Amino acid sequence: MHPAAPRKQPRRKARLPALRLAFLALGLAATGAALAKPIAFQGGTTVMAEYGAGTMIEAQAFHAPSYRWSVGLGQLRLDADDESFSRDITYSRVNILVGRRNRPQSQANAFAWAGLGTADSSDDQGERLALNAGGQIDHETLRFYSSLRTDWHHSTSRFSHRIDTAQLGWAPYPHNWDRVATWFVVQGRNFTGGLYEDIEGALLLRLFRNGRSSAFWIEAGMTQDGRLQSMFMLNF
């Protein structure tokens, strides 16, 4: 007599509670400019949405009262690669420019951020308090871009995971103010905490352009296993 095969626990689709949706919408409406840099300029607002190869979906909105810091909200959906669980995290965050070096042909930055939020997991009951923190260093010229970034989400005795991202970018031509900028970006991303068991590599095409009242950025590409990675960002 064969033992019954263990039933795979269906992944519970964690729906966003109406209150959290309203909170997020309020944040988006009240603010209005993430990666490449979480701080645009004094008085600037950044909104961003990213689809990460079926592993993560994230939306953020930040406003910068000063060029040294910004504040905003985010919503992150994480899906384990083996579909064993999913997690929704709603968070608020403060970003700080730790240091900047402006040179005639380059800019280098160091950012740090931290915040609080709530997490709702398919393998758990109820919302939990979640902490988030991270940092980014980057260096940029008109032709080359490099960055290292880490994002950490933690809920005591529930989960702790980190997403580390490295990017190298190359522009085939130096863009100017009123032209579309084109970048080819190689990205490596490492997940901890049971989300994904390998390093996820992606090749991305990044386009951005400055307009009279806003600047937009779109990015799309594929991971090494053929999954879509895309991002949209608006600064105004």
Partner 1 sequence: MIPLRIVLLSAFLATSPNAIAENGGPTGGRTIEMRVDGLVCAFCAQGVSKKLAAQPSIEDVFVDLERGLVAVALRTGLDINDETLRETLTAAGYSLRQVERRTESLTELRARLEASRK
Residues that bind partner 1 (CB under 8 A): 36-37, 39-44, 66-67, 100-107, 140-142, 174-179, 181, 208-210, 213-215, 217, 233, 235-236
Write down the least CB distance from residue 47 to partner 1, Å. Answer: 13
Q: Which CB sits closer to partner 1, 143 or 154?
A: 143
Residues 6+ apart with CB under 8 A from 25: none
Write down the least CB distance from residue 48 to partner 1, Å. Answer: 12
Quick one: 1 exposed, middle or buried, by C-beta within 10 A (0-12, 13-18, 19+)? exposed
Write down the least CB distance from residue 3 to partner 1, Å. Answer: 58
Residues 6+ apart with CB under 8 A from 22: none
Q: Which CB sits closer to partner 1, 102 or 125?
A: 102
Q: Nearest 5°: phi and psi at 29?
A: -70, -35
Q: Which CB sits closer to partner 1, 46 or 122?
A: 46
Q: Which CB sits closer to partner 1, 39 or 163?
A: 39
Write down the least CB distance from residue 42 to partner 1, Å. Answer: 4
CA dist., res. 84 & res. 114, Å (int) = 28
Q: Which CB sits closer to partner 1, 24 or 215?
A: 215
CA dist., res. 152 & res. 192, Å (int) = 9
Q: Which two tokens stand for residue 85?
A: 């669980």
Q: Which CB sits closer to partner 1, 161 or 206?
A: 206
Write down the least CB distance from residue 33 to partner 1, Å. Answer: 8
Write down the least CB distance from residue 223 to partner 1, Å. Answer: 24
Angle CA(45)–CA(50)–CA(53) in degrees, nearest 5?
Answer: 170
Residues 6+ apart with CB under 8 A from 228: 51, 53, 54, 220, 221, 222
